[in-house]
Amino acid sequence: MIDWQPLWLSLRLAGTTALLLLVIAVPLAYWLAYGRGRWMIAVEAIVSLPMVLPPTVLGFYLLLAFSPSNAFGRFLDHYLDIRLVFTFPGLVVGSLIYSLPFMVNPIVSGFRGLSLHLREASRTLGKSDRTTLIHILLPNIRSSLITGAVLAFAHTLGEFGMVVMIGGGIPGQTRVASIAIYDEVQSINYSLANRYAIILLGLSFFILLLVYFVNHHFTNPKTLP
Amino acid sequence: MRLAFIQLCLICMTVPFTSHAQTTEVVVAAAADLKFAMDSLVAVFSKENPDITIKVVSGSSGNFFQQISNGAPFDLFFSADIDYPERLKAKNLTRSDIHIYGTGQLVLWSRSIDPAIDKMNTLLNPAVKKIAIANPAHAPYGQRAEETLRHYQLYDKVKDKLVMGENIAQTAQYAQSGAADIGIIALSLALSPAMQQTGGKYWLIPAAAHRPLEQGFVLLPHAKDNKGAVKFMNYITTSEARAILKSFGFSRP
Amino acid sequence: MPHPPTSAFRATKMLHTARGPQRLDIDFQWQQGRLLAIYGPSGAGKTTLLRILAGLTPADTGLIEVEGETWLDTVRRIHLPTRHRSIGFVFQDFALFPNLTVRQQLEFALPNPKEKAIVAELLSLMELNELQHLRPGLLSGGQQQRVALARAIARGPRLLLLDEPLSALDDDMRNKLQDYILMAHHHYHLTTLLVTHHLPEVIRLADEAILLENGKITAHGEPADLFAGRTMTITISPGNPSAKNP
């Protein structure tokens, strides 16, 4: 019937990427939202670059970087015994870069949408920036965090160009659902390809519904009876 | 709360997904023309060796050559053109001698036209708008297809009608679906159940039209200590395996 | 009898207002325990003055010494960050944290989470007991103001800074809230600086007042002296109803 492995792999890749990005994106977004300096604009552009970069370009450079026949790849292989080409962790690293802007940008918008007075008020109460971030800022941009996580998840789910370059299509490791669909079409297994495709389509649609629902829920203020 | 999620995800990442504590895993890079033949070979082998899991990755031989040169974790490489394993051997990237498993043959295949009538000149038929061949840049069957076209002095006349499949399997799929009116594909694929069921027709292209397509397989450095890989490799050389290959159109070397 | 400690505030800053560049240039002192009103028309620089004192806005040059502690000295390059200044600040828009209940706002303000007693006391004093488990979104303007005031006081600051805290309220509410400010100021022996452009408020609440016009202090004394029987030059700008000669 249907081999669930590619779907499970896709979900695992998307989930791992989204969770790790939450950890990476919050400090980065904080810095972009509140930092000052002329080169912030350059940083913002770099962060957003993966949105417009063709995924195969990203995949190509990652392949060069991670390949054991090149300096960095050799370093990883020799000293840390890590291979990033054709492995699941390699896909995670690629996805972190590929989906970064989808996490960072909503969070930056969220921070920028908060009144500056909130941060200042917390300072006047003697609180450090870190305390302010954790107890005041983040709880008030919950919808941005959720939106970012969900978008990063969905975006990673659909990855193909980058995976094709550095994945190798190895079953159980890097043969994610998008690759499996491609493979099954090539093998003239149209019905199986269709099954994968419909599941991914349904999942993506459901995710979008979730995002819109969350945003709707959080932007409707509770009013006095 | 968030911390718990992060911990959960790190665990998911580090715990190996496949719980094959008792089984050996063999990852095989197989040229796309072997797709259906390999399925049969693996099925038979697995019945007799349930503790060995064979994972097959299908693609073009040229692509595999690149990936293996860049450290791809394959144990065995079945190449549609023996040139690639030989180049790997020259780079010290092989662990065994190169075994030949057959000679590849080309056919003209179409679901709508019978190529046996006009043979190569079918390609000049005005009803033929798109001709599928594998990408000559990295697919051996594509290289031979191009040679064949030049041999018959048809290349310049039809080159605007060519569409490139990434590997020979995709090329066959283009022809099978009718996206291309006709394709130059591997005999082994034409003989596969999927292609036969479509009711297309094919014509065998004379071997003299192109360089011979000797196909070979080799054990790779990643298979170090992998007894399962060696076992599978030895299996391919048995007469039983050769019979399967023959039935899929891989003539004996 | 020992003199209560004096605090001093000197600062200059170039402001870019809607009417063009304006220089804020101030120099004044106050005694501990006083309620000092800073009065003047809109755009005079009152809010900026308060923000510089709080450390929220940088000054071009300045010296701030509060009861012996130097908060700012641009010559010696000393700038104590806001969070190390012992202040309570009430913003014009209250700046309550949308995710915390009234009680949680006060608890958050405590330097030591164990001293819950003062929270209970403040809730009673400001009559917030019934509202303590509500979030700001459910409170009226006057209620939010009381919470903002309580929150600013909770950590026992040396200086209480109020930036036009009552301007968002209607007259009825205004009067009631003025009571609360006065009561809190006396109950906790605070030193309070109140920025306002509402003349009756100055007269009702302040021990002394400063008149700020076009970025400069043009008068400093008892409210009664300041505004009774003296000619004042106040720029009459459109929409400034409180500006008139007595």
Distance CA C97, CA A139 (A): 10
Give me the residue label for tokens 């600051």: C157
Contact criterion met (CB below 8 Å) for A14 and A92 = no
What are the distances in angstroms from CA A17 to CA A10, A51, A149, A211? 11, 16, 9, 18
Q: Residue B16 falls within a domain, yes or no? A: yes
Q: Residue B98 falls within a domain, yes or no? A: yes
To the nearest whole angstrom, how far is the Cα of C115 from the nearest Cα of chain A? Answer: 15
0.90 exceeded by pTM: no
- pLDDT tens sequence across B2-47: 555 555 555 555 444 444 445 789 999 999 999 889 999 999 999 9
- Residues from chain A contacting residue B6 (CB–CB below 8 Å): 19-20, 22-23
Chains A and B touch (3+ CB pairs under 8 A): yes
- Domain with C205, as residue range(s), is 6-86+158-227
Residue C234 confidence (pLDDT): 52
- pLDDT tens sequence across A107-132: 999 999 999 999 999 999 999 999 99
Residue B182 burial (CB count, 10 A):
27
**Is residue B143 located within the same domain as residue B62?**
no
Q: Residue C83 is nearest to which of A127, A135, A140, comparing CB atoms? A: A127
Q: Does an H or E element contain B198, and which? A: helix B193-198
- Domain with B18, as residue range(s), is 2-103+213-247
Residue C245 confidence (pLDDT): 42
Contact criterion met (CB below 8 Å) for C190 and C89 = no
Distance CA A41, CA A70 (A): 32
Q: What is the mean pLDDT of residues C60-67?
A: 94
One-letter amino acid for residue C88 of the chain = G
Contact criterion met (CB below 8 Å) for C15 and C215 = yes
Q: Residue B72 is nearest to which of A20, A85, A92, comparing CB atoms? A: A85
Is C244 buried (19+), middle (13-18) or exposed (0-12) by CB count in 10 A?
exposed
Q: Taking Cα atoms as reference points, which of A87, A40, A43, A81 lies closest to residue A63?
A: A87
> B1: pLDDT confidence band, cut at 50, 70 and 90?
very low
Task: Give the N- to C-terminal CA distance of chain A in Å, as an integer.
Answer: 55
> A202: Cβ–Cβ under 8 A, 6 or more apart, which residues?
none
Q: Residue C130 falls within a domain, yes or no? A: no
**Is residue B129 located within the same domain as residue B180?**
yes
Domain of C192, CATH number, reads 3.40.50.300
Q: Given this structure, which CATH class describes domain A5-217?
A: mainly alpha
Residue B5 confidence (pLDDT): 53
- Touching subunits of C (3+ CB pairs, under 8 Å) are A
Taken as a whole, chain C contains a residue count of: 246
User: How much is the ipTM here?
Assistant: 0.87
One-letter amino acid for residue B100 of the chain = I
- pLDDT tens sequence across C102-161: 999 999 999 887 778 889 999 998 899 999 999 999 999 889 999 999 999 998 898 999
Mapping DSSP to helix (H, G, I), strand (E, B) and coil, where does residue C162 land? strand
Distance CA A59, CA A56 (A): 5
Number of domains in chain B: 2
Q: Residue B252 falls within a domain, yes or no? A: no
Please give the structure tokens belonging to residue B154.
């048809």
Q: What letter would DSSP give residue C211?
A: E
- pLDDT tens sequence across B98-152: 999 889 999 999 999 999 999 999 999 999 999 999 999 889 999 999 999 999 9
Q: Taking Cα atoms as reference points, which of C195, C158, C208, C161 lies closest to residue C53?
A: C161
- Residues from chain A contacting residue C119 (CB–CB below 8 Å): none
Q: Residue C141 falls within a domain, yes or no? A: no
Number of domains in chain C: 1
Contact criterion met (CB below 8 Å) for A192 and A7 = no
Mapping DSSP to helix (H, G, I), strand (E, B) and coil, where does residue B163 land? strand
Q: A4, A5, A19: which to substitute to probe chain B, counting the most B Cβ within 10 Å?
A: A19
- pLDDT tens sequence across B185-198: 999 999 988 898 88
Domain of B202, CATH number, reads 3.40.190.10
Q: Residue C87 is nearest to which of A122, A124, A140, comparing CB atoms? A: A124
Q: Residue C92 falls within a domain, yes or no? A: no
Residue B47 burial (CB count, 10 A):
8
Q: Which residues of C touch A (CB under 8 A)?
A: 54-56, 81-85, 87-89, 91, 93, 95, 97-99, 108-109, 111, 137-138, 151-152, 154-155
Distance CA C230, CA B145 (A): 105
Please give the structure tokens belonging to residue C32.
């501990």
Q: From the DSSP assignment, how many helices (H) and strands (E) are in chain A?
A: 12, 0
> C230: Cβ–Cβ under 8 A, 6 or more apart, which residues?
C219, C246
Q: Residue A67 is nearest to which of B8, B17, B71, comparing CB atoms? A: B71
Q: Does an H or E element contain C37, and which? A: strand C35-39
Asked if the model's pLDDT at residue C5 lies above 80, the reply is no
Q: Residue B253 falls within a domain, yes or no? A: no
E strands, A151-197, are none
Q: Is A222's CB within 8 Å of C98's CB?
A: no
Residue C31 burial (CB count, 10 A):
15
Q: Is A121's CB within 8 Å of C95's CB?
A: yes
HSE toward the beta carbon, residue B215, CA cutoff 13 A? 28
Q: What is the mean pLDDT of residues A60-87?
A: 81
Residue C127 burial (CB count, 10 A):
12
Q: Compute, in degrees rounded to 10, the torsion defined by CA atoms C85, C89, C95, C98.
A: 60
